[in-house]
């Protein structure tokens, strides 16, 4: 009898333990995939205060509203480069040298190229921002909205240094993604990447801000700006030009790059912060080109300088900042009295710890703007007012001519292209619209070297040549130039046909 009683008691105890284990397991399973953040009236708690989040103190992050608000303002972009006839010169053989034959030229037809990416609608009247590399060299740009409406887009302007471009589609009452402030982002903050990865439209991925002001060295252009927001939200091919938004659905970055050994997402995605986007877009819209301000210094991170053997025992008065290695001639810093060896710690009160952060801050200004530079000289803090200048050493607006009759937009020739073609001057046709140049056969990418036998080095030179030709009896622009492929081409544009 006693043995039977013990068996019953043991069975009841075992049943209670199983029930308790089931309850605990159920709670853990229900909580396993829930992300918690503090509520407005509940501070963060430490493990010593509470081992698990409790109801009322924490609430889950809801990203559905942010996704719904932004997915309609992110578009799919198709860029097409048409087939072209290109000419190349064959390598002369021994018989050419012996008999004085001219080198033979051959022509071949390139294949059309189609690329895909994303873009973000900024205004209800159809201005769209995307990456420059999404539409670079494109002859046709097609934009598809989330409701499947399709538009032909016009390139307003593009900037190689920041990898941004501004497009325009005709219409009104388009859905927009509201602009946020990337400066307000905090590490660990939740963000959404919205775009069209692998040509899959209207895709949303979530992650956190992993780092800010990150430089990864992917842009080759001289003067390129890299101050990326790093995120672990999945960014893949096709996401370029899409939106990085916060939990309120505000644009905080333009997705631009991923870092991966395989070419697909591996945990590292990068977006251009809106502090840069806003300035570039405003300039492209108003001037057609970016008015880039330059402080006039060559600097290094002070933290890296301190690691050098010769500096290990030196005291610079700080461990963060930008050490000035050299001052550029004609720059604002030199004119204001800044010296080599100074350590810049802030611009207009905003702290800068690295050269990347300094560039990200200065790029938000225009030539002619005045900023207060806080620096350390012999460990003593000084504040110096500096007037920022452009790359030419003045404060004038760098214009991008768009003479309606010619129907073309011009820009400076990228440094890499100048080196490849071994040319020291010229202006490149960045876009061709309906007009005399298009009628004559001039294509996007053409580099104008001379007009009416005068070297072309700037927009002003083109405008001057245009004015002189328009006032002349012939009214003809005799244009000499070269395409990026190396093919030389001459054109005669008759202004009397306008």
Residues with a catalytic annotation lie at 133, 163, 240
Q: Which of 476, 469, 423, 463 is CA-nearest to residue 446?
A: 423
Looking only at the bridges linking them, the beta strands covering 190-195 and 203-214 are antiparallel
- Tell me phi and psi for residue 387, to 5 degrees: -90, 120
Q: Which residues of 110-120 are buried (b: 16+ CB within 10 A; e: fewer)?
A: eeeeebbbbbb
Dump strand ranges (E) for 135-185.
140-144, 150-152, 154-159, 164-168
Please give the helix or strand (H or E) that residue 113 lies within, else none.
Answer: strand 113-121
> CA–CA separation, 78 vs 117, rounded Å?
7
Neighbours of 93 (CB within 10 A): 11
| CA-to-CA dists, residue 370 to 272, 287, 293, 388, angstroms | 25, 20, 10, 6
> CA–CA separation, 481 vs 318, rounded Å?
52
> CA–CA separation, 138 vs 411, rounded Å?
16
Contact assessment for residue 209 and residue 183, using Cβ atoms and an 8 Å cutoff: no
């Amino acid at each position: 009898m006693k043995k039977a009683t013990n068996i019953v008691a043991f069975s009841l105890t075992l049943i209670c333990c199983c029930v308790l284990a089931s309850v605990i397991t159920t709670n853990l399973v229900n909580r396993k995939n829930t992300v918690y953040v503090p509520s407005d009236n509940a501070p963060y708690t430490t493990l010593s205060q509470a081992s698990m989040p409790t109801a009322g103190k924490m609430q889950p992050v809801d990203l559905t509203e942010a996704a719904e608000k932004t997915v309609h303002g992110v578009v799919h972009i198709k860029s097409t480069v048409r087939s072209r006839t290109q000419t190349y010169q064959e390598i002369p053989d021994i018989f050419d040298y012996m008999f004085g034959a001219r080198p033979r030229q051959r022509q071949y037809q390139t294949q059309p190229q189609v690329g895909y990416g994303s873009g973000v609608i900024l205004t209800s009247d159809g201005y769209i921002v995307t990456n420059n590399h999404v539409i670079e060299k494109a002859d046709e740009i097609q934009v598809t909205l989330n409701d499947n409406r399709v538009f032909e887009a016009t390139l307003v302007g593009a900037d190689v240094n920041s990898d941004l471009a501004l497009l325009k589609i005709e219409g009104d009452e388009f859905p927009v993604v509201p602009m946020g402030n990337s400066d307000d982002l905090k590490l660990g903050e939740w963000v959404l990447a919205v775009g069209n990865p692998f040509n899959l439209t209207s895709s949303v991925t979530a992650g956190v801000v992993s780092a800010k002001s990150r430089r990864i060295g992917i842009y080759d252009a001289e003067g390129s700006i890299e101050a990326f927001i790093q995120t672990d939200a999945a960014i893949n091919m096709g996401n370029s030009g899409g939106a990085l938004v916060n939990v309120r659905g505000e644009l905080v970055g333009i997705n631009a790059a991923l870092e991966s050994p395989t070419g697909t997402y591996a945990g590292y995605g990068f977006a251009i912060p809106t502090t840069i986007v806003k300035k570039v877009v405003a300039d492209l819209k108003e001037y057609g080109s970016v008015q880039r301000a330059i402080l006039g210094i060559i600097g290094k991170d002070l933290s890296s300088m301190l690691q050098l053997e010769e500096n290990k025992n030196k005291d610079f008065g700080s461990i963060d900042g930008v050490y000035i290695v050299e001052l550029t001639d004609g720059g604002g810093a030199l004119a204001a009295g800044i010296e080599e060896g100074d350590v810049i710690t802030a611009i207009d009160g905003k702290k800068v710890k690295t050269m990347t952060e300094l560039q990200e801050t200065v790029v938000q200004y225009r030539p002619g703007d005045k900023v207060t530079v806080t620096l350390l000289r012999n460990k003593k803090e000084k504040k110096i007012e500096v007037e920022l200048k452009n790359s030419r050493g003045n404060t004038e607006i760098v214009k991008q001519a768009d003479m309606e009759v010619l129907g073309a937009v011009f820009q400076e020739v990228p440094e890499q292209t100048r080196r490849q073609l071994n040319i020291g001057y010229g202006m490149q046709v960045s876009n061709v619209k309906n007009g005399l140049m298009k009628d004559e056969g001039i294509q996007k990418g053409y580099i104008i070297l001379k007009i009416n036998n005068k070297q072309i080095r700037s927009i002003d030179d083109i405008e001057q040549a245009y004015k002189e030709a328009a006032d002349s009896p012939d009214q003809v622009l005799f244009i000499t130039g070269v395409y990026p492929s190396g093919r030389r081409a001459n054109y005669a544009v008759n202004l009397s046909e306008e």
